[in-house]
Every structure is written in C-alpha cells, then in structure tokens.
Copies of this chain bind each other. A is one copy, B any other.
Amino acid sequence: MSVRKVKSQQGISSIEVGARLLRAMTLEARPRMLRDLAAAAQMPAAKAHRYLVSFMRMGLVEQQSETGLYDLGGFALELGLSALARMEPVTLAAPALAELRDEIEQTVALAVWANQGATIVRWLGADTPVSASLRVGAVMPLTRSATGQVFLAFLPAETTSPYIKKELADNVRLGLNPTHRDQVEQLVTEIRHRSYALTSEFIPGIAGLAAPVFDHSGSLSMALVSLGYDKPFEASLPSITAATIRKAEQLSRRLGKPAGR
C-alpha cells in the first residue's frame, strides 16, 4: 500500500545525491581522489566537492592532510556501530521468517549454534502441521538433519568436530547413516557447493531444507529452515528451494555480510 506511494513522496534531493557519494566511498575501502569519487557517483567534481565539504563538517568524511584524499570519518563509524548495536540477528529474522512461511506455505524455522549444538529458536507453522519433534529448543543432529548439516558445512571444523565424533558413534550404535568421517566430508563439500542442505532422513516422512545466514564477518550466524511432508514438499521443491535461499541471502545482507563470497 504505502510502498506504491514511495515514488510520489516528497524527499530532499540533496540527500539522495549525497548518499550516492557515500555509497561510492564504501565501494573501495581506501582513501580516494575527488575525481574518482565524483566519477563513481556520476557527478561533476565541483558538485562532489561541495558535498564532501559538508560531509567533513559533520564528521562523516575526513580528508587526509598530506595527500588530500577523502575517506570515511568518525561519524560514519558511529552510525554503523549504532546500527550494529541494535541488531539482534534473531529479532531481525522474525519478519523474514513469516514472509517465507507465507510465500512457500510450509512450516519454517530458525536455528542458531548454541546449547552445544544446532538449536531451533523460532518456529512458524503452516496450516498443515508437522511433527512435534521439531520444537523451539530442540537440538538437531549435525549429520542427519538438514539444519545440522548447514552448521556442519559452514561452522569452523574446530567447533563441530567433537560433536561429529560423538554423533558418528551414535549412528553406528543405532544402525544409521552416516557412520564415517569420509561420508561426512563428502556431504559437507556438496552442501558448501550448493549452499543449502536437503534431507528427509531425520524424521521419516518429513523433508527439511536449510540455508545458511552469514553475519558481517562472513561467519555463519543462523540457519533458515523449511519443512513439510515429503510428498507435497518435493512437489514444489524448486520454488521452495529458491525462496528459502533468497530469504537467507537477504538476511545475510541485512546483517552486513561482505559482498561476494
């Protein structure tokens, strides 16, 4: 509703021009010449200069006294840290989770690494309810659940290895797969490549798909999970996969994940 009106809302054009310049400054993390900044923001140097003068007055930009190059200033740092300080990944993810549920019409969940394992911290059911074994607080197995596999693939090996060892032993005892490190390695390689995990082995009849969410330092922050009865789930698998990955990537960007990678 209000989204439609965005274009008609009256704003301050100088702010939008200035923001283009700031964005140009974030593109390369080093001091730059006026000429280059102006070119990157697509404006004449004289114009860019006047904006930089005001940015400097407000501490958003600093000019090196030696070289005359322009760089981001102290207030830019404060702005970012202030934005960072109010950011709780799980809180931020809540609306995204609801959107995903509405889009794919499946049960969705959010997991973080805590409590000695991959732990479900949010849960949103679709109209068709899923097994109760997936509840908030549940710790998911690393090798056998899609959720766990994401943590297995994207967390540092030091973090997960003690748990893998224990879990493989359990798998052997219970007659489940995988049972060897080699199998785990192969699985992990595959998941890193696809950037999502999919399995229906953990809960028979239920398929689960999990995608990683990274934070500003590029390390794994959370896993975004979709699940449902395997027949209908697999029937819409392509769109579910696409939607889940897209939402996970949106969240990663929101958390300041560095570009690329």
Contact = CB atoms under 8 A, between A and B. Distances in A.
B74 A253 contact: yes
Per assembly, the copies of the chain total 2
Given A72-B82, A76-B83, A217 B55 contact: no
A14 B16 contact: no
Given A83-B72, A217-B136, A115 B78 contact: yes
Contact of A16 (B20, B54, B81, B216): B54
A80 interface: yes
Interface in A1-54: 6-7, 9-16, 18-20, 22-23, 25-26, 29-31, 50-51, 53-54
Contact of A26 (B54, B82, B123, B216): B82
Contacts of A138: 85
A79 interface: yes
A129 B158 contact: no
A53 B127 contact: no
Nearest to A51: B12
B114 A74 contact: yes
Contacts of A215: 136
A23 B40 CA distance: 26
A113 interface: yes
Interface size of A as a range: 35 or more
A119 B19 CA distance: 26
Contacts of A59: 19
Contacts of A25: 82
Contact of A129 (B79, B114, B121, B122): B114
A182 B77 CA distance: 33
B51 A216 contact: no
A58 interface: yes
A238 interface: no
A162 interface: yes
Contacts of A20: 58
